[in-house]
Amino acid sequence: MNGSNHFDLPPSMRALEYSEARKFSIVEKSLPTIREHDVLIKVKASGICGTDLHIHDGEFGAQFPLVPGHETVGVVAAFGSKVQDFNIGDRVVADNSELCGHCHYCRRGKELFCENFIAHGVMVDGGFAEYASYPANRVFKFKNLSDVDATLLEPAACAAHGLDKIAPQMGSSVLLFGAGPTGLILAQLLRQNGGCHTVIAAPAGLKMELARSLNAADEFVELPRDAQAAATKMEELRSKNPYGFDIVVEATGNAKILENAIKFVTKGGKLVVYGVYGEDDRVSLPPNKIFKEEINLIGSFSQTYKFPAAINYLDGKRIHVSGIVNKTFKLEEWQDCLDAMKNKSVIKAALVFD
Ligand SMILES: [Zn+2]
Ligand SMILES: [Zn+2]
């Protein structure tokens, strides 16, 4: 590093490191080295999502030893000699994916499926540390969002990719199952991009209250926890909407709900598979309906190149996210955070740093 492009950096940093699945501790380690095209971020907040629970268990391709954290927000603390357009102190968010640019899929413009994909916070160290480094082309500036709300930019980028995949037509009716963080963002995006009537169906509770306060839909259908009562409510929703919806999004990750969701798709409509499902999950769908009614099945999983769109929507206050992160933790409170995630007492959590 040359003297002009960095803060006075400390000799070491604190990080939450896993030596193997389920074995973690706070360690003192040296700062990430930065290559000539890298930016070093002093981390302010790191979002936590369901993926981190899988990483805790050693799933999702986690490679140990590992500092997790794939929703990283902070300020520029240093940068390599070939980096342009960044200043020390810039507020930034990092896209955690590095793409190779030369594999079968990258050569065809399908970088989402890059065969040499490197995910920070999964395969290499990420943002559960005081400092983290990323290639400058994966680092994006923002202005207005709080550090904690900015952790939603990664999920919002995924939702913006979902919107591209769905390509809603003007005047579409939309039904979205689930009121989790990405669902709430996708519902707002759909509402502003062709959706004329958007319905969110989810169990009554914290997330549904938040959905209302964010004004994420035109109509909210609260599903009772009791299975029989929920089935009755779904039947009601169907009879109220006999022609179904142009776009139906399954955003809960529950395969059973996906099987039900197709019943709500109008002829020629779109069924969007948008949850994180178990690898062994299977669904039974009626091929005759898919064929005769020309139902479009759409999968949407991650994103590439959608951070600028996400920043425009969130930083420009077009899409509202305040309150989605409803609990923050310090690095040394990681076990409490895991417990809160597992017993679902948080909507979304973030680690915060001084
Ligand atoms: Zn995530
Ligand atoms: Zn590639």
Which structure tokens are listed for 98? 């590095």
Taking a 5 Å cut-off on Cβ, the residues next to ion ligand 1 are 49, 51
Q: What is the dihedral of CA 133, 139, 145, 149, to 10 degrees?
A: -60
pLDDT digits (tens, 9 = 90+) for 163-185: 999 999 999 999 999 999 999 99
Q: Among all ligands shown, which has an atom nearest to the Cα of 117?
A: 2
Prediction pTM value: 0.94
Query: Residue 3: its pLDDT value, please?
Result: 44
Q: How far is the CA of 206 from the centre of ligand 1 (A)?
A: 20
Largest CA distance in the chain: 69
Taking a 5 Å cut-off on Cβ, the residues next to ion ligand 2 are 100, 103, 106, 114, 116
Q: Among all ligands shown, which has an atom nearest to the Cα of 348?
A: 1
- Where do runs of H (alpha helix) occur along 139-205? 147-150, 153-166, 181-192
Q: How far apart are CA 341 and CA 349, in angstroms?
A: 8
Q: Among all ligands shown, which has an atom nearest to the Cα of 108?
A: 2
Q: How confident is the model at residue 5 (pLDDT cuts 50, 70, 90)?
A: low
pLDDT digits (tens, 9 = 90+) for 240-290: 999 999 999 999 999 999 999 999 999 999 999 999 888 899 999 999 999
Q: What is the CATH superfamily name and number for domain 3-152+324-352?
A: Medium-chain alcohol dehydrogenases, catalytic domain (3.90.180.10)
Q: How far is the CA of 113 from the centre of ligand 2 (A)?
A: 7
2 has pLDDT over 90: no
Q: How far is the CA of 100 from the centre of ligand 2 (A)?
A: 4
* Domain ranges for the chain: 3-152+324-352, 156-299
1 has pLDDT over 60: no
Q: How far is the CA of 302 from the centre of ligand 2 (A)?
A: 15
Q: How far is the CA of 84 from the centre of ligand 1 (A)?
A: 28
CATH tag, 156-299: 3.40.50.720
Q: Which residues of 68-107 are buried (b: 16+ CB within 10 A; e: fewer)?
A: bbbbbbbbbbbbbeebeebeeebbbbbbbbbbeeebebbe
State the average pLDDT for the chain: 95
Q: How far apart are CA 354 and CA 347, in angstroms?
A: 23
The secondary structure of the chain in percent helix, strand, coil, rounded to multiples of 5, reads 30, 30, 40
Q: How far is the CA of 138 from the centre of ligand 2 (A)?
A: 15
Q: How many CA atoms lie within 13 A of 137 on its CB side?
A: 10
Q: Which residue has the tokens 């995006």?
A: 189
Distances from the Cα of 246 to the Cα of 58, 192, 198, 217, angstroms: 39, 15, 10, 15
